[in-house]
Structure 1
Amino acid sequence: MGQLEETVKSLLRRRSMSMRQLATATGISVSTISKMIAGKQRVNLDYLRRIADVLGVPAIALAEAAGLTLNNASIGFSKRDDHSSMNALLEYLGIESWPALRGEIERELEKYEAYAQTDEGQQLIAEKYPIKRGQIQGVGDFLRDLDEIYDQFTRSDTPEDERWILASGILYFLLATDAIPDYLFPAGFLDDAIAIQMVRERLARRRDMKIQGSDGS
Protein backbone atom coordinates (compact mmCIF):
# COMPACT_ATOMS: atom_id res chain seq x y z
CA MET A 1 0.00 0.00 0.00
CA GLY A 2 1.41 3.39 -0.99
CA GLN A 3 1.69 6.35 1.38
CA LEU A 4 -1.20 8.28 -0.18
CA GLU A 5 -3.51 5.27 -0.06
CA GLU A 6 -2.50 4.53 3.54
CA THR A 7 -3.09 8.15 4.58
CA VAL A 8 -6.51 8.45 2.91
CA LYS A 9 -7.72 5.13 4.31
CA SER A 10 -6.46 6.05 7.78
CA LEU A 11 -8.35 9.34 7.63
CA LEU A 12 -11.49 7.57 6.43
CA ARG A 13 -11.32 5.19 9.39
CA ARG A 14 -10.89 8.09 11.80
CA ARG A 15 -14.05 9.68 10.42
CA SER A 16 -15.96 6.41 10.10
CA MET A 17 -16.44 7.15 6.39
CA SER A 18 -16.58 4.73 3.49
CA MET A 19 -14.95 5.24 0.12
CA ARG A 20 -18.44 5.57 -1.37
CA GLN A 21 -19.31 8.37 1.06
CA LEU A 22 -16.07 10.13 0.16
CA ALA A 23 -16.93 9.80 -3.52
CA THR A 24 -20.38 11.28 -2.96
CA ALA A 25 -19.02 14.19 -0.91
CA THR A 26 -16.29 15.04 -3.43
CA GLY A 27 -18.19 14.34 -6.64
CA ILE A 28 -15.42 11.98 -7.76
CA SER A 29 -16.19 8.36 -8.62
CA VAL A 30 -15.08 5.58 -6.28
CA SER A 31 -13.11 4.02 -9.13
CA THR A 32 -11.20 7.24 -9.83
CA ILE A 33 -10.35 7.83 -6.17
CA SER A 34 -9.24 4.23 -5.70
CA LYS A 35 -7.01 4.26 -8.78
CA MET A 36 -5.51 7.66 -7.95
CA ILE A 37 -4.58 6.91 -4.35
CA ALA A 38 -3.24 3.48 -5.33
CA GLY A 39 -0.90 5.06 -7.88
CA LYS A 40 -2.66 3.49 -10.86
CA GLN A 41 -3.78 6.85 -12.20
CA ARG A 42 -2.10 10.25 -12.38
CA VAL A 43 -2.78 12.44 -9.33
CA ASN A 44 -5.23 15.24 -10.10
CA LEU A 45 -4.54 18.24 -7.83
CA ASP A 46 -8.13 19.46 -7.98
CA TYR A 47 -9.35 16.02 -6.89
CA LEU A 48 -6.71 15.98 -4.16
CA ARG A 49 -7.94 19.32 -2.82
CA ARG A 50 -11.54 18.10 -2.81
CA ILE A 51 -10.59 14.93 -0.93
CA ALA A 52 -8.54 16.94 1.58
CA ASP A 53 -11.44 19.35 2.19
CA VAL A 54 -13.85 16.50 2.93
CA LEU A 55 -11.34 14.72 5.18
CA GLY A 56 -10.49 17.95 7.00
CA VAL A 57 -6.74 17.98 6.35
CA PRO A 58 -4.40 20.35 4.49
CA ALA A 59 -4.18 19.55 0.78
CA ILE A 60 -0.40 19.76 0.98
CA ALA A 61 -0.37 16.76 3.35
CA LEU A 62 -2.04 14.56 0.73
CA ALA A 63 0.15 16.01 -2.02
CA GLU A 64 3.30 15.15 -0.12
CA ALA A 65 1.96 11.69 0.70
CA ALA A 66 1.56 11.25 -3.06
CA GLY A 67 5.25 12.10 -3.47
CA LEU A 68 4.64 15.46 -5.16
CA THR A 69 6.98 18.42 -4.77
CA LEU A 70 4.79 21.49 -5.02
CA ASN A 71 5.18 25.22 -4.67
CA ASN A 72 2.68 27.23 -2.68
CA ALA A 73 0.64 28.39 -5.65
CA SER A 74 0.14 24.95 -7.15
CA ILE A 75 -1.50 23.58 -4.01
CA GLY A 76 -3.65 26.61 -3.35
CA PHE A 77 -1.57 28.86 -1.09
CA SER A 78 -2.15 32.56 -1.49
CA LYS A 79 1.03 34.38 -2.50
CA ARG A 80 2.32 36.87 0.06
CA ASP A 81 5.60 38.68 -0.43
CA ASP A 82 6.12 39.20 3.31
CA HIS A 83 5.87 35.50 4.23
CA SER A 84 8.56 32.91 3.75
CA SER A 85 7.53 29.59 2.25
CA MET A 86 7.89 28.02 5.71
CA ASN A 87 5.52 30.53 7.27
CA ALA A 88 3.08 30.00 4.40
CA LEU A 89 3.13 26.25 5.03
CA LEU A 90 2.65 26.70 8.77
CA GLU A 91 -0.17 29.18 8.23
CA TYR A 92 -1.88 26.72 5.92
CA LEU A 93 -1.54 24.05 8.60
CA GLY A 94 -3.15 26.40 11.13
CA ILE A 95 0.05 27.41 12.95
CA GLU A 96 0.64 31.09 13.56
CA SER A 97 4.27 31.39 12.45
CA TRP A 98 7.74 29.84 12.45
CA PRO A 99 8.79 31.64 15.69
CA ALA A 100 5.54 30.52 17.34
CA LEU A 101 6.19 26.90 16.39
CA ARG A 102 9.79 27.01 17.62
CA GLY A 103 8.68 28.62 20.87
CA GLU A 104 6.11 25.90 21.47
CA ILE A 105 8.64 23.15 20.73
CA GLU A 106 11.27 24.76 22.96
CA ARG A 107 8.86 24.80 25.91
CA GLU A 108 8.11 21.13 25.36
CA LEU A 109 11.81 20.24 25.16
CA GLU A 110 12.54 22.03 28.45
CA LYS A 111 9.73 20.09 30.12
CA TYR A 112 10.97 16.78 28.71
CA GLU A 113 14.58 17.47 29.68
CA ALA A 114 13.48 17.56 33.31
CA TYR A 115 11.30 14.46 32.88
CA ALA A 116 14.23 12.58 31.29
CA GLN A 117 16.12 12.81 34.56
CA THR A 118 13.52 10.68 36.33
CA ASP A 119 13.46 6.87 36.39
CA GLU A 120 9.99 6.99 34.85
CA GLY A 121 11.19 9.07 31.90
CA GLN A 122 14.15 6.82 31.20
CA GLN A 123 12.03 3.68 31.46
CA LEU A 124 9.49 5.15 29.05
CA ILE A 125 12.21 5.77 26.45
CA ALA A 126 13.54 2.23 26.83
CA GLU A 127 10.09 0.68 26.43
CA LYS A 128 8.36 2.96 23.91
CA TYR A 129 11.07 4.17 21.53
CA PRO A 130 11.71 0.83 19.76
CA ILE A 131 7.96 0.34 19.29
CA LYS A 132 7.14 3.76 17.82
CA ARG A 133 10.36 3.90 15.81
CA GLY A 134 9.44 0.58 14.19
CA GLN A 135 6.06 1.93 13.11
CA ILE A 136 7.35 4.64 10.76
CA GLN A 137 9.29 4.50 7.54
CA GLY A 138 10.19 6.70 4.62
CA VAL A 139 10.38 10.20 6.06
CA GLY A 140 13.88 10.95 4.80
CA ASP A 141 16.69 12.34 6.94
CA PHE A 142 14.45 12.69 9.98
CA LEU A 143 14.71 9.01 10.90
CA ARG A 144 18.47 8.97 10.45
CA ASP A 145 18.81 12.03 12.72
CA LEU A 146 16.45 10.52 15.27
CA ASP A 147 18.42 7.27 15.34
CA GLU A 148 21.66 9.22 15.84
CA ILE A 149 20.13 11.08 18.78
CA TYR A 150 18.98 7.80 20.33
CA ASP A 151 22.38 6.19 19.75
CA GLN A 152 24.15 9.08 21.51
CA PHE A 153 21.65 8.92 24.38
CA THR A 154 22.31 5.22 24.99
CA ARG A 155 26.12 5.43 24.82
CA SER A 156 27.82 5.05 28.19
CA ASP A 157 30.43 7.71 27.38
CA THR A 158 27.88 10.46 26.71
CA PRO A 159 28.10 13.13 29.47
CA GLU A 160 25.08 13.12 31.74
CA ASP A 161 24.05 16.72 31.03
CA GLU A 162 24.09 16.00 27.29
CA ARG A 163 22.08 12.81 27.76
CA TRP A 164 19.16 14.80 29.19
CA ILE A 165 19.18 17.14 26.20
CA LEU A 166 19.23 14.17 23.84
CA ALA A 167 16.45 12.49 25.80
CA SER A 168 14.25 15.57 25.52
CA GLY A 169 14.16 15.14 21.73
CA ILE A 170 13.31 11.45 22.04
CA LEU A 171 10.54 12.19 24.54
CA TYR A 172 9.15 14.87 22.24
CA PHE A 173 8.90 12.25 19.51
CA LEU A 174 7.19 9.83 21.90
CA LEU A 175 4.93 12.06 23.96
CA ALA A 176 4.35 15.54 22.60
CA THR A 177 0.90 16.62 21.45
CA ASP A 178 2.07 17.40 17.93
CA ALA A 179 1.49 20.79 16.41
CA ILE A 180 1.07 18.80 13.18
CA PRO A 181 -0.57 15.35 13.59
CA ASP A 182 1.74 12.46 12.70
CA TYR A 183 -0.84 10.81 10.44
CA LEU A 184 -0.35 13.66 7.94
CA PHE A 185 2.58 11.95 6.19
CA PRO A 186 5.24 13.31 5.83
CA ALA A 187 4.29 16.81 6.95
CA GLY A 188 3.19 15.35 10.27
CA PHE A 189 6.79 14.81 11.31
CA LEU A 190 7.78 18.42 10.60
CA ASP A 191 7.63 19.51 14.24
CA ASP A 192 9.43 16.34 15.36
CA ALA A 193 12.20 17.08 12.87
CA ILE A 194 12.41 20.68 14.10
CA ALA A 195 12.63 19.38 17.68
CA ILE A 196 15.57 17.16 16.74
CA GLN A 197 17.31 20.10 15.06
CA MET A 198 16.74 22.22 18.16
CA VAL A 199 18.23 19.43 20.29
CA ARG A 200 21.36 19.60 18.13
CA GLU A 201 21.48 23.39 18.58
CA ARG A 202 21.12 23.06 22.35
CA LEU A 203 23.89 20.44 22.44
CA ALA A 204 26.19 22.71 20.47
CA ARG A 205 25.54 25.60 22.87
CA ARG A 206 26.15 23.37 25.89
CA ARG A 207 29.46 22.16 24.44
CA ASP A 208 30.52 25.71 23.58
CA MET A 209 29.84 26.75 27.17
CA LYS A 210 32.03 23.89 28.42
CA ILE A 211 34.87 24.90 26.11
CA GLN A 212 34.61 28.53 27.16
CA GLY A 213 34.56 27.49 30.81
CA SER A 214 37.61 25.30 30.30
CA ASP A 215 39.52 28.09 28.53
CA GLY A 216 38.72 30.51 31.33
CA SER A 217 39.93 28.23 34.09
Structure 2
Amino acid sequence: MADAGNSTAFGLLLRDLLKERSLSMRKLSELTEIDTATISRIINGKRKANLQHLERFAGCLEVPLLNLFEAAGYSVEQIKEKSHSDIHTSIDAIQGVLASSNVYNNQFSIERVEQKLENYGLYSQTEDGENTIHNSFEEKIQNVGSVGPFISKLKELYERFTSGKGTPSEIILIGSALLYFIIPVDVIPDYIFPIGYLDDAIAVQLATNSLVKK
Protein backbone atom coordinates (compact mmCIF):
# COMPACT_ATOMS: atom_id res chain seq x y z
CA MET A 1 0.00 0.00 0.00
CA ALA A 2 2.82 2.40 0.84
CA ASP A 3 4.35 1.79 -2.56
CA ALA A 4 1.04 2.55 -4.25
CA GLY A 5 0.75 5.74 -2.22
CA ASN A 6 4.20 6.87 -3.31
CA SER A 7 3.35 6.14 -6.94
CA THR A 8 0.17 8.22 -6.69
CA ALA A 9 1.96 11.13 -5.02
CA PHE A 10 4.74 11.08 -7.59
CA GLY A 11 2.19 10.95 -10.40
CA LEU A 12 0.53 14.09 -9.08
CA LEU A 13 3.91 15.81 -8.79
CA LEU A 14 4.82 14.89 -12.35
CA ARG A 15 1.42 16.13 -13.59
CA ASP A 16 2.00 19.47 -11.82
CA LEU A 17 5.49 19.79 -13.29
CA LEU A 18 4.14 19.24 -16.78
CA LYS A 19 1.38 21.80 -16.22
CA GLU A 20 3.85 24.40 -14.94
CA ARG A 21 5.96 23.92 -18.06
CA SER A 22 3.01 23.69 -20.46
CA LEU A 23 4.15 20.25 -21.59
CA SER A 24 1.96 17.37 -22.68
CA MET A 25 2.67 13.73 -21.93
CA ARG A 26 3.33 13.24 -25.63
CA LYS A 27 5.93 16.01 -25.65
CA LEU A 28 7.57 14.62 -22.52
CA SER A 29 7.67 11.27 -24.25
CA GLU A 30 9.51 12.82 -27.19
CA LEU A 31 12.00 14.57 -24.93
CA THR A 32 12.71 11.59 -22.68
CA GLU A 33 12.22 8.79 -25.20
CA ILE A 34 9.91 7.11 -22.70
CA ASP A 35 6.74 5.62 -24.15
CA THR A 36 3.69 7.85 -23.68
CA ALA A 37 1.70 4.94 -22.27
CA THR A 38 4.39 4.40 -19.63
CA ILE A 39 4.33 8.07 -18.67
CA SER A 40 0.54 7.92 -18.46
CA ARG A 41 0.69 4.93 -16.11
CA ILE A 42 3.25 6.70 -13.92
CA ILE A 43 1.17 9.86 -13.75
CA ASN A 44 -1.96 7.89 -12.90
CA GLY A 45 -0.17 5.98 -10.14
CA LYS A 46 -0.45 2.64 -11.90
CA ARG A 47 3.32 2.20 -12.25
CA LYS A 48 6.30 3.21 -10.16
CA ALA A 49 8.92 5.25 -11.98
CA ASN A 50 12.27 3.47 -12.08
CA LEU A 51 15.64 5.19 -11.81
CA GLN A 52 16.09 5.55 -15.57
CA HIS A 53 12.69 7.26 -15.79
CA LEU A 54 13.58 9.62 -12.95
CA GLU A 55 16.92 10.56 -14.48
CA ARG A 56 15.28 11.46 -17.79
CA PHE A 57 12.43 13.36 -16.14
CA ALA A 58 14.90 15.37 -14.06
CA GLY A 59 16.96 16.31 -17.10
CA CYS A 60 14.02 17.39 -19.23
CA LEU A 61 12.04 19.12 -16.49
CA GLU A 62 15.13 20.74 -14.90
CA VAL A 63 14.31 19.37 -11.46
CA PRO A 64 16.96 18.05 -9.02
CA LEU A 65 17.07 14.30 -9.46
CA LEU A 66 17.28 13.70 -5.74
CA ASN A 67 13.94 15.47 -5.28
CA LEU A 68 12.27 13.13 -7.76
CA PHE A 69 14.04 10.16 -6.24
CA GLU A 70 12.56 10.93 -2.83
CA ALA A 71 9.12 11.78 -4.21
CA ALA A 72 8.99 8.41 -5.98
CA GLY A 73 9.46 6.64 -2.66
CA TYR A 74 13.07 5.50 -2.84
CA SER A 75 14.77 5.56 0.54
CA VAL A 76 18.33 6.73 -0.11
CA GLU A 77 18.05 9.65 2.29
CA GLN A 78 16.97 7.32 5.08
CA ILE A 79 20.22 5.44 4.54
CA LYS A 80 22.28 8.63 4.48
CA GLU A 81 20.73 9.99 7.66
CA LYS A 82 21.54 6.93 9.78
CA SER A 83 24.90 8.38 10.73
CA HIS A 84 24.80 6.72 14.15
CA SER A 85 23.19 3.43 13.14
CA ASP A 86 24.81 0.04 12.77
CA ILE A 87 26.96 0.24 9.64
CA HIS A 88 26.04 -3.29 8.60
CA THR A 89 22.33 -2.44 8.72
CA SER A 90 23.03 0.38 6.27
CA ILE A 91 24.97 -2.00 4.04
CA ASP A 92 21.98 -4.36 3.96
CA ALA A 93 19.72 -1.44 3.07
CA ILE A 94 22.04 -0.41 0.25
CA GLN A 95 22.02 -3.94 -1.10
CA GLY A 96 18.25 -3.78 -1.19
CA VAL A 97 18.24 -0.52 -3.12
CA LEU A 98 20.82 -1.83 -5.57
CA ALA A 99 18.89 -5.04 -6.11
CA SER A 100 15.73 -3.12 -6.95
CA SER A 101 17.42 -0.58 -9.21
CA ASN A 102 18.56 -2.90 -11.99
CA VAL A 103 21.36 -0.47 -12.87
CA TYR A 104 24.22 -1.84 -10.79
CA ASN A 105 25.06 -5.53 -10.82
CA ASN A 106 28.44 -5.67 -9.05
CA GLN A 107 28.74 -6.86 -5.47
CA PHE A 108 28.85 -4.09 -2.89
CA SER A 109 30.79 -4.66 0.31
CA ILE A 110 32.11 -2.63 3.20
CA GLU A 111 35.54 -4.16 2.61
CA ARG A 112 35.73 -2.58 -0.85
CA VAL A 113 34.84 0.82 0.57
CA GLU A 114 37.46 0.44 3.31
CA GLN A 115 40.11 -0.47 0.75
CA LYS A 116 39.27 2.60 -1.31
CA LEU A 117 39.46 4.77 1.79
CA GLU A 118 42.88 3.37 2.60
CA ASN A 119 44.10 4.16 -0.91
CA TYR A 120 42.67 7.67 -0.81
CA GLY A 121 44.24 8.21 2.61
CA LEU A 122 47.62 7.66 1.05
CA TYR A 123 46.73 9.89 -1.89
CA SER A 124 45.56 12.70 0.42
CA GLN A 125 49.12 12.98 1.75
CA THR A 126 50.46 13.91 -1.68
CA GLU A 127 50.49 17.41 -3.12
CA ASP A 128 48.23 16.28 -5.95
CA GLY A 129 45.75 14.77 -3.49
CA GLU A 130 45.65 17.93 -1.39
CA ASN A 131 45.14 20.08 -4.47
CA THR A 132 42.30 17.84 -5.61
CA ILE A 133 40.52 18.38 -2.31
CA HIS A 134 41.11 22.15 -2.23
CA ASN A 135 40.20 22.72 -5.88
CA SER A 136 37.32 20.29 -6.39
CA PHE A 137 35.31 19.98 -3.18
CA GLU A 138 33.08 23.05 -3.56
CA GLU A 139 32.30 22.25 -7.18
CA LYS A 140 31.37 18.67 -6.30
CA ILE A 141 29.07 19.86 -3.52
CA GLN A 142 27.30 22.16 -5.96
CA ASN A 143 26.93 19.41 -8.52
CA VAL A 144 25.33 17.08 -6.00
CA GLY A 145 22.89 19.81 -5.00
CA SER A 146 21.80 18.14 -1.77
CA VAL A 147 21.48 19.01 1.92
CA GLY A 148 21.24 16.94 5.05
CA PRO A 149 23.52 15.04 7.42
CA PHE A 150 25.59 13.51 4.61
CA ILE A 151 26.50 16.85 3.04
CA SER A 152 26.70 18.68 6.38
CA LYS A 153 29.21 16.16 7.67
CA LEU A 154 31.30 16.49 4.51
CA LYS A 155 31.41 20.27 4.94
CA GLU A 156 32.53 19.84 8.54
CA LEU A 157 35.28 17.47 7.45
CA TYR A 158 36.38 19.86 4.70
CA GLU A 159 36.68 22.72 7.20
CA ARG A 160 38.80 20.53 9.48
CA PHE A 161 41.00 19.47 6.58
CA THR A 162 41.60 22.97 5.25
CA SER A 163 42.27 24.38 8.73
CA GLY A 164 44.45 21.43 9.72
CA LYS A 165 42.47 20.84 12.92
CA GLY A 166 43.47 17.36 14.01
CA THR A 167 46.36 14.99 14.42
CA PRO A 168 48.21 13.80 11.28
CA SER A 169 46.31 10.49 11.37
CA GLU A 170 42.98 12.30 11.72
CA ILE A 171 43.75 14.57 8.76
CA ILE A 172 44.56 11.49 6.68
CA LEU A 173 41.20 9.94 7.62
CA ILE A 174 39.39 13.14 6.75
CA GLY A 175 41.26 13.45 3.46
CA SER A 176 40.35 9.89 2.53
CA ALA A 177 36.63 10.58 3.01
CA LEU A 178 36.78 13.84 1.05
CA LEU A 179 38.60 12.22 -1.86
CA TYR A 180 36.15 9.32 -1.87
CA PHE A 181 33.37 11.87 -2.31
CA ILE A 182 35.20 14.01 -4.88
CA ILE A 183 36.59 11.30 -7.17
CA PRO A 184 33.70 9.91 -9.26
CA VAL A 185 35.04 6.40 -9.84
CA ASP A 186 34.71 4.51 -6.56
CA VAL A 187 32.94 1.33 -5.45
CA ILE A 188 29.65 2.53 -6.96
CA PRO A 189 30.47 5.06 -9.73
CA ASP A 190 28.92 8.48 -9.11
CA TYR A 191 27.45 8.64 -12.62
CA ILE A 192 24.87 6.08 -11.48
CA PHE A 193 23.08 8.91 -9.69
CA PRO A 194 21.73 8.97 -7.05
CA ILE A 195 22.72 5.41 -6.22
CA GLY A 196 26.33 6.34 -6.90
CA TYR A 197 26.40 8.40 -3.70
CA LEU A 198 25.24 5.64 -1.37
CA ASP A 199 28.76 4.35 -0.90
CA ASP A 200 30.02 7.91 -0.42
CA ALA A 201 27.67 8.22 2.56
CA ILE A 202 28.98 4.95 3.96
CA ALA A 203 32.59 6.09 3.41
CA VAL A 204 31.92 9.29 5.35
CA GLN A 205 30.27 7.28 8.11
CA LEU A 206 33.23 4.90 8.33
CA ALA A 207 35.71 7.77 8.50
CA THR A 208 33.61 9.57 11.12
CA ASN A 209 33.39 6.41 13.24
CA SER A 210 37.17 6.05 13.08
CA LEU A 211 37.64 9.69 14.11
CA VAL A 212 35.40 9.17 17.12
CA LYS A 213 37.42 6.12 18.16
CA LYS A 214 40.63 8.14 17.93
When the two structures are superposed, what TM-score results if normalisation uses the length of structure 1? 0.59
Per-residue deviation at 1:68?
3.3
Q: Which residue of 2 aligns with 1:65?
A: 69
> Is the CA contact (8 Å cut-off) linking 1:22 and 1:54 kept in structure 2?
no
Q: Does 131-140 or 62-71 show the bigger shift?
A: 62-71
Per-residue deviation at 1:50?
9.7
> Pick from 101, 113, 121: which aligns with 2:121?
113
Aligned residue identity for 1:26: D
Write the mapping of 1:131-170 to structure 2, written as runs, cut at 5 A. 131-170=139-178
Partner SS, residue 37 of structure 2 = coil
Write the mapping of 1:164-203 to structure 2, written as runs, cut at 5 A. 164-203=172-211
* Gaps in structure 1 of 5+ consecutive residues: 6-17, 37-41, 56-60, 72-82, 208-217
Partner SS, residue 48 of structure 1 = coil
Q: Distance in 1 between matches of 2:36 and 2:146?
A: 31
Q: Distance in 2 between matches of 1:47 and 1:184?
A: 19
Q: Are residues 51 and 204 of structure 1, via their aligned partners in 2, closer, same or farther at CA, if it must alter by over 3 Å? A: closer
* Gaps in structure 2 of 5+ consecutive residues: 1-12, 15-27, 57-64, 76-90
How many corresponding residue pairs?
Answer: 164
> Is the CA contact (8 Å cut-off) linking 2:161 and 2:171 kept in structure 1?
yes
Per-residue deviation at 1:182?
3.3
Q: Are residues 125 and 204 of structure 1, via their aligned partners in 2, closer, same or farther at CA, if it must alter by over 3 Å? A: same
Aligned residue identity for 1:115: Y
Aligned residue identity for 2:69: A
> Is the CA contact (8 Å cut-off) linking 2:48 and 2:72 kept in structure 1?
no
Is residue 2:32 matched to residue 1:28?
no
String of CA shifts for 1:98-135, please: whole Å, max 9, x gaps.
xx421111111100100111111111111111221222
> Is the CA contact (8 Å cut-off) linking 2:157 and 2:178 kept in structure 1?
yes
Q: Which residue of 2 aligns with 1:44?
A: 45
When the two structures are superposed, what TM-score results if normalisation uses the length of structure 2? 0.60
Partner SS, residue 46 of structure 1 = coil
Per-residue deviation at 1:52?
3.9
> Is the CA contact (8 Å cut-off) linking 2:134 and 2:162 kept in structure 1?
no
String of CA shifts for 1:23-50, please: whole Å, max 9, x gaps.
5x534277x59xx7xxxxx573616249
CA RMSD of aligned residues (A): 3.8
Q: Distance in 2 between matches of 1:22 and 1:129?
A: 31
Q: Does 182-191 or 61-70 show the bigger shift?
A: 61-70
Per-residue deviation at 1:154?
1.7
> Is the CA contact (8 Å cut-off) linking 1:95 and 1:101 kept in structure 2?
no
